[in-house]
Amino acid sequence: MTIWRRWVRFWSEKESGFSIAMVRVSIGLTLLYTCLSPYLSGVWQAIWVDEVHGGIRHYKKVPWLLDILGGATPSAVETMLWMGIVASIGLIVGFAGRLSALVGMIVMNTISWHNPLATGGHDDLIANALWLLVFVQNDCTLSVSCKVRTGRWQSNTQVYSIVRRLLLTQLIIMYASTGLQKVSAHWVPFGEMDAIWYILQQPTWSWRDHQFLAPWFWVTQLGTLGTWMFEVWAPMMWILMLWESRTDTPWYAPTWGQRFVMRCKPRTIFACIGIPMHLGILFTMDVGPFSYAALSYYWTLYAPIRIMESAETQYDQSALSTP
């Protein structure tokens, strides 16, 4: 089988919709927090409304959604936030999943581009996930839609594995990109490895003064090394995970190397480093919903047993006996 055909076959695999449903709920909660937090605290007017209407900035040009809603006015911005809130509820309860993801993505894109001074990687990360969720029946299980359709909250409906894999790939790209850009002498392993010590002292981001950590400086050094290694080596973990995932395919005979990787459980290792890292960020710094968004992607590490799409199987039966 040619590489292209293997590639087509790989992207045509299907699996249970559980992981995608959990991503949908988690990213829905993150979207809800993202829209509700500035709304309830009342800061949305200062941040997104034009100075003519009581905001901080003057906006010469606004994103298309705000343009349609009437510009950077209080009512337009409020409508945009409510669109995000309604979309997030749709995602959480699992109703009109694709439409909710699309609306949520448009709102996040608008937020990202409208005031670039008050945005961050978390907005992109949420929009990335929502965009991919548009392409899958994300409410096929654990959802109101499922209850209406089947009379049960859960179903065994199969969805394409593409989206879960692309979400995982997105997470890996985010880690690798940020890791490869951490070229500061404070980050790299052959320096002082004091990046996290200094980052925790930044008055803009930290929840509190972290000078009390001075006697435990070595812990911050371990954190620096662990974070840098984890991010820079994320693509390698992705390859190992991909390799491992081949071993749970019924027709595939794993090599000795894959059996070894399977024993090492790269997904578990990845989660055991990544989840505490994000919890650490959450408890020490206020970087918006970044950790919530990133942790929402971790459901994609869970790879439900896949079945081949029948059409695809017929399309190339010979592949079934090919390791």
Which lies closer to other proteins via its Cβ, residue 236 or residue 264? Answer: 236
Q: Which of 29, 89, 233, 312 binds other proteins (CB under 8 A)?
A: 312
278 binds other proteins per the rule CB under 8 A: no
**Token couple for 13:** 């695999």
CB atoms within 10 A of CB 253: 11
CA distance 228 to 181: 10
Instruction: Scan residues 113-142 and list those touching other proteins (CB under 8 A).
Output: 113, 115, 117-121, 124, 126-132
DSSP 42: T
Asked if 162 is part of the footprint of other proteins (rule: CB under 8 A), the reply reads yes
233 contacts other proteins (rule: CB under 8 A): no
Nearest 10 degrees: Cα torsion 65, 71, 72, 73? -120
Is residue 180 a contact residue for other proteins (CB under 8 A)? Answer: yes
Q: Which one of the spans 1-9, 18-26, 138-146, 239-247 is the region binding other proteins (CB under 8 A)?
A: 1-9
CB of 208 to other proteins, least distance (A): 6
Does residue 96 interact with other proteins by CB under 8 A? no
> Is residue 108 classed exposed, middle or buried when 0-12, 13-18 and 19+ CB atoms within 10 A define those classes?
buried
Tokens of 311: 């059409």
The minimum distance between CB 256 and other proteins, in angstroms, equals 30
Tell me: does residue 190 bind other proteins (CB under 8 A). Answer: yes
248 contacts 305 by C-beta, under 8 angstroms? yes
Element (H, E) at 103: helix 97-114
Selected range binding other proteins among 76-84, 191-199, 240-248, 263-271, rule: CB under 8 A: 191-199
Complex with other proteins: residue 97 or 155, whichever CB lies closer: 97
Give CA–CA dist 241/248, Å, rounded. 11
Residue 289, helix vs strand vs coil = strand
16-24, 40-48, 69-77, 245-253 -> range binding other proteins (CB under 8 A)? 40-48
189 binds other proteins (CB under 8 A): no
Structure tokens at 43: 């800061």
Q: Tokens for 49? A: 């409304």
For residue 250, the minimal CB distance to other proteins (Å) is 20
Cβ neighbours for 184, distance < 8 A, ≥ 6 positions apart: 195
- Measured from the CB atom, the residue of 203 and 257 that comes closer to other proteins is 203
Using CB under 8 A, pick the residue from 182, 246, 265, 278 that binds other proteins: 182
* 171 near other proteins, judged by CB under 8 A: no
Question: Can residue 248 be called a binding residue for other proteins (CB under 8 A)?
Answer: no
